[in-house]
Amino acid sequence: NGHKPLPPSQQPQNQPSSPQEAHHLGSLHHHPLGSSPLVPLPSLFAPSPTKRHSLVLLLLFHLHRHHHHFHLLLLPRYTSFTLLSFVSRCHDFDLFVCGFCDCAAGVAELKKRLSRPRCNYSDGQWVRHSGEPRYSGTSCKTIKDGQNCMAHGRPDTGYLHWRWQPKQCTVPAFDPAAFLRLIENRHLAFVGDSMARNQLESLLCLLATAEEPDLVYRDGEDNKFRRWLFRGRNATVSVLWSPFLVKGVEKSEATGQYHNNLYLESVNERWASELDGMDVVVFSVGHWYLHPAFYHENGVVLGCHHCPEFNHTEIGFFDVFRKALNTTLREVSRRHDSSPGTSEKLVVVTTFSPAHFEGEWDKAGACPKKEPYKEGEKEMQYMDAEMRKIEVEEVAAATEREGGKGLRFEALDVTKMALMRPDGHPGPYMHPNPFANGVQERMQNDCVHWCLPGPIDSWNEILLDMMRRWKGESK
């Protein structure tokens, strides 16, 4: 590395005079298998990398002859760093490994990396990508029919060949093996509405390229509560339906209830009761707040949204959404603090994903775009921007309240990258072969959720980087 050895006057005086002495020093300690063999060799000083390598190879030869355990050989301290030379044996494959580790420089580099400003993944553009998707509509078994655009006959494939490029950095390619290592012996849960499910299914497809998961639990209408196990890593991934996060009763035509009812003072216990067993929680809600609803707090009806036929105060959903998110994040903190011995927890809020309806939802051509928007081509609507702003601000407030308590809050800010992808929705291909009998007068379109594979896969690339940073900084 360009570092000069110590001058002769400062070199250790008890250097080995011969390879035989070096062998003797390397053979001082015999360790039973399973202990922590550490053989310090402060007197071994090689003035050049070539001689140092030769010495280690010589010791490797003697270890091969006389030892059957792992050994570490410590070289002396230099002026600006300490080199650690090691020789080890892997008994599973009968292999020997030798090398050099710059310990001090490695720690310094780690500190340097962790102190760098974080990349702003939310600001960038979609650029063409020639690579193929990591999975397909036939190779992944967990894609919901409504998002399986390829299998449903979507003829264009250009939407598959784009990648998100932030202005100041690069999103690392998704590494399924690395993701599974991060959640080994842990539980990752997606909690929210159908966008949470959409992101979960994207992640399952990406991870399944490394290991197929087993569905170990399902419950609820349309399997809204499911859990998978990656047995190779004892890693659990689950999804829990909760479109408001707070306690709520959903509207239902079957029961004649056409308004949602939200109870803003308490969270939905269906997911919150499992919180202690979750190591990473990804919340994703928003679209259900746009629907007509009554708002309750402490037994009192505060008002409602879009209810002109009732004698209640009309309340905008922005303040309600903020209050519900605030209630949720505070309750996560309270339960974490009140559970002694609770492991570190990462709480991620995926920001609002805009819809792209450009026509009637039940007419052909509702979301007809075939390519992403270019920078400046599409302005974010006020509603989309405000929903995102509330989420980012509430995550920041939670971070300020709870910093240093083993609880980390992050905003997975995908609003702009989602806005720029009008081409990534199923549209009419939420149903199989929608044009088999020609263009119908009425044709249902999905311009909210995302095709799989599709743009939403990039969200999980960023999630992986978040989790890497979380684990690295916690260590």
- The residues assigned a catalytic role are 194, 446, 449
Q: Are 136 and 438 in contact (CB under 8 A)?
A: no
Cα 107 from Cα 110, distance rounded (Å): 5
Q: Which residues pair with 412 in a beta bridge?
A: 350
The residue assigned the tokens 């306690």 is 247
